[in-house]
């Protein structure tokens, strides 16, 4: 898989991940990573939280940072 951002710039670069928001391939130069809390556990009672990493493309990272919530 190739990076979509590089392809739009008429370059070819191997993707290192897939954007959680839109599914685009992203290379090491365009990847944005963030950690988000995830609630896991039983339905009743306070569930424990875990922190997980998410991979985002530049567009979804910008939308998330501006509060648009594109990569929920």
- Show pLDDT as tens, one digit a residue, over the chain (72 residues): 999 999 999 999 999 999 999 999 999 999 999 888 887 777 777 777 888 899 999 999 999 887 754 444
71 found inside a domain: no
Q: Which residues sit opposite 33 in a β-bridge?
A: 55
Q: What is the pLDDT of residue 24?
A: 97
53 found inside a domain: yes
- Nearest 5°: the CA angle 37, 45, 49 is 15
38 found inside a domain: yes
Q: Which residues sit opposite 17 in a β-bridge?
A: 26
Token pair listed for 44: 């009743």
C-alpha span between 36 and 71 (Å, rounded): 11
Distance of CA 29 to the CA centre of its chain: 14
56 found inside a domain: yes
70 found inside a domain: no
72 found inside a domain: no
| Domain around 10 | 4-65
Q: What is the pLDDT of residue 72?
A: 41
Q: What is the pLDDT of residue 37?
A: 86
C-alpha span between 9 and 12 (Å, rounded): 9
> How many domains are there within the chain?
1
């Amino acid at each position: 898989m190739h990076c979509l951002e590089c392809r739009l710039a008429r370059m070819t670069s191997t993707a290192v991940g897939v954007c959680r928001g839109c599914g685009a391939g992203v290379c090491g130069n365009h990847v944005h990573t963030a950690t988000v809390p995830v609630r896991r556990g039983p339905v009743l009672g306070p569930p424990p939280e875990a922190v997980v990493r998410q991979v985002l493309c530049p567009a979804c990272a910008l939308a998330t940072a501006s509060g648009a919530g594109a990569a929920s």
